[in-house]
């Protein structure tokens, strides 16, 4: 990338997906999505409501996840971020582990409320800051949260996009497939295919993800970096170091 760091690029990409929304919630241990939500709020002039679990300044909930789930059930959260130890081509997420449950050879933190939020939040953005075949697999070992549901299941929420260290993909809920939106600068289609364990749709000459402009980078370096430091001081320090370098 010519001027921006990968973190800046990912923050800008995610923030663009939040423009025009009313309320974005961010779970714990999600510094890049948190920075993206705060960037989108800054650009909206304060019109976007941002709730970050684990933050004191940006967390209106007094009872943690319970109130978050209540908000989602009432249709008052427009976007949320989810990741997983495994994600497959139908946008199924595995947060439990690898191998036959309960004798899993690798165990992860668990589902918590991922399945509920996946069903209730209209715009769920899947995010991982890495991209390899161990993560993006043909079929997850355990479905913590399904990417799609039968037609007779009421489901206002679901996957909207997948953002990784290599690319941006959109998700077609009817076809139950990802489609490549853009490759990040310096990435190739062949390398992306090799790093992805599932098939996805793509153009022969994919678009390149636009890098953030100078105004966006100044926002990230200034008010956004300071705001996110309250919850993620180590990430904010690393971000400042990347940008100064």
Beta-ladder partners of 201: 179
Sequence-separated (6 or more) residues with CB below 8 Å from residue 199: 89, 177
Alpha helices in the chain (DSSP H): 6-16, 31-43, 65-73, 114-120, 189-194, 214-219, 225-229, 233-244
Please give the pLDDT value at position 244.
53
Question: How are strands ordered across the β-sheet holding 23-26?
Answer: 49-52, 23-26, 79-82, 123-127, 159-163, 167-172, 177-183, 207-208
Within a 10 A sphere around the Cβ of 109, how many other Cβ atoms?
A: 11
> What is the per-residue pLDDT for 122?
97
pLDDT of residue 243: 58
* pLDDT at res. 133: 98
> What pLDDT is recorded for position 89?
98
Please state the pTM of the whole predicted model. 0.94
In which band, very low, low, confident or very high, does the pLDDT at 182 lie, cut at 50, 70 and 90?
Answer: very high
Write out the DSSP string of 208-236: EPPPP-HHHHHHIIIIIHHHHHTT-HHHH
- Model confidence band, residue 64 (pLDDT cutoffs 50, 70, 90): low
The answer to whether residue 245 scores a pLDDT higher than 50 is: no
pLDDT of residue 187: 98
Over range 171-196, report the average pLDDT. Answer: 97
The mean pLDDT of 155-169, rounded to a whole number, is 98
- pLDDT, tens only, 96-154: 999 987 788 899 888 888 999 999 999 999 999 999 999 999 999 999 999 999 999 99
State the sign of the Cα–Cα–Cα–Cα dihedral 67, 22, 54, 86.
positive
Task: Look at residue 54 and tell me whether its pLDDT is greater than 90.
Answer: no
Give pLDDT tens digits for 65-103. Answer: 788 999 999 999 999 999 999 999 999 999 999 998 778
Model pLDDT, residue 19: 94
Q: Identify any residues that bridge with 172 across adjacent strands, giving them in sequence order.
A: 177
The structural domains of the chain, ordered by start, are: 6-244 (3.40.1080.10)
Q: How many CB atoms lie within 10 A of CB 174?
A: 7
How does the average pLDDT of the chain come out, rounded? 93
Nearest to 139 by CA among 189, 188, 199: 199
């Amino acid at each position: 990338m010519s001027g921006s760091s990968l973190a800046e690029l990912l923050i800008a990409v995610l923030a663009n997906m939040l423009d025009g929304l009313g309320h974005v919630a961010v779970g714990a241990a999600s510094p890049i999505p948190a920075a993206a939500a705060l960037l989108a709020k800054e650009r909206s002039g304060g019109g976007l409501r941002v709730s970050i679990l684990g933050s004191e300044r940006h967390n209106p909930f007094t009872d943690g996840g319970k109130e978050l789930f209540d908000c989602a059930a009432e249709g008052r959260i427009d976007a949320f971020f989810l990741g997983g130890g495994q994600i497959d081509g139908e946008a199924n997420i595995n947060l439990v582990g690898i191998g036959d449950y309960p004798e899993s050879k690798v165990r992860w933190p668990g589902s918590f409320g991922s399945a509920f939020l996946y069903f209730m939040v209209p715009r769920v953005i899947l995010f991982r800051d890495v991209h390899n075949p161990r993560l993006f697999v043909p079929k997850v070992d355990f479905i913590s949260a399904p990417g799609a549901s039968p037609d007779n299941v009421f489901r206002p929420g679901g996957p909207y996009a997948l953002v990784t260290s290599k690319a941006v993909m959109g998700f077609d809920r009817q076809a139950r497939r990802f489609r490549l939106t853009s490759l990040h600068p310096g990435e190739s289609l062949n390398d992306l295919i090799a790093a992805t364990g599932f098939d996805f749709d793509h153009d022969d000459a994919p678009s390149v993800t636009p890098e953030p402009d100078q105004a966006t980078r100044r926002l990230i370096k200034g008010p956004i970096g300071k705001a996110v430091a309250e919850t993620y001081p180590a990430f904010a320090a690393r971000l400042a170091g990347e940008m100064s370098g």
